[in-house]
Each structure stands twice: as C-alpha cells, then as structure tokens.
A = this chain, B = another copy of it.
Amino acid sequence: MEDIIRSLGYLTLGSRLKRIGEQLQADTQRMLDGLEVPVQSSQYPLLAALDRLGPLPVGELAQSLGITQPGVTRSVALLTELGLVEVVQSDGDQRRRMVSLTGNGQRLVSRAKRDVWPRIENAVADLCRGLTGPLLEQLSAIEDGLAAAPLERRVKQDAVP
C-alpha cells in the first residue's frame, strides 16, 4: 500500500513531520507508562521549561515552548489539578500569573531527569544514528527505523549505569 504522504515529497512535508512527531510521542508515552505518573509525554516540555528557566508567567512559558497561550493555560490547569505546578499572582503586575513547579513537580522532574530522560534521549539518538543526507531521505530512514523497532526496544540496558 503506497504511502501517499511519503510519495508526495515536499508537497506534504508538513503532514509528514507532524505524523512522525506524533509517532515519536506515542512511542515515548509507552516508555513512560512504566512510571506511576499520570502525565502525558506532551506535558514534559512544560515541566522541563519550568525546571530549566524557573517560575515563568503564562505568556513567556508559551514563548519558550513555541506554542500559543491558550495551550499553556490549559496545560497549566491540568498540571495544577495534578499538583505538579502551582500558580501565584505576580507581585508587581496583577495580570501576570507566575507558574512554578510544586515540590511534587520538582521531584517528578528530578526523577525523570535521572531515570527516564536519558533513556529516551538514547533511544532517539539510536534511531537517528548515522543519519546524513537530504532531509526527505533522513525522514524515510526514521519512519523505517520506527517501523522496524519502536523506541521502547531501543533502550540500552546500560544506558544509566
């Protein structure tokens, strides 16, 4: 069965990148399923941003993640519900709402940084190992690689000694 998105080349590059991204996220999700944490893989960038940059207002969080503000507002509401982040009114400007990690959120990120993220990085690096050449060929190699062995089967057991 011909893969149309692949056949159409540059014309459907957007659809193709989106599709590969979704597949990678789904694979990553399966790697995370072992943890007892009820957080989707797509929420980790937000947590990582707070961990890396410290408390941020909603708008700057959106900028640093490259998504729009309503998306951040919704994710923050979800993660607040889960007790992983909290929101306080800014001291100066009453419009700004500073988002920060809670203790639980900080603990989750620390654990992920130690136990999980290195595995994911290794698995993706393994998937992309040796890739060179034109973009479309690299994408085909990634698609073929994921079909042959999804991320969760690319974890090196000695990745975190």
Contacts and interface: CB of A to CB of B under 8 A. Distances in A.
Nearest to A125: B10
A22 interface: yes
A25 interface: yes
Nearest to A117: B11
- Interface of chain A: mostly helix, strand, loop or mixed: helix
Residue of A45, A53, A120 with most chain B CB atoms under a 10 A cut-off: A45
One complex includes copies of this chain to the number of 2
A2 to B, nearest CB: 6
A-side interface size class:
35 or more
A58 interface: no
Interface in A123-138: 124-125, 128, 131-135, 138
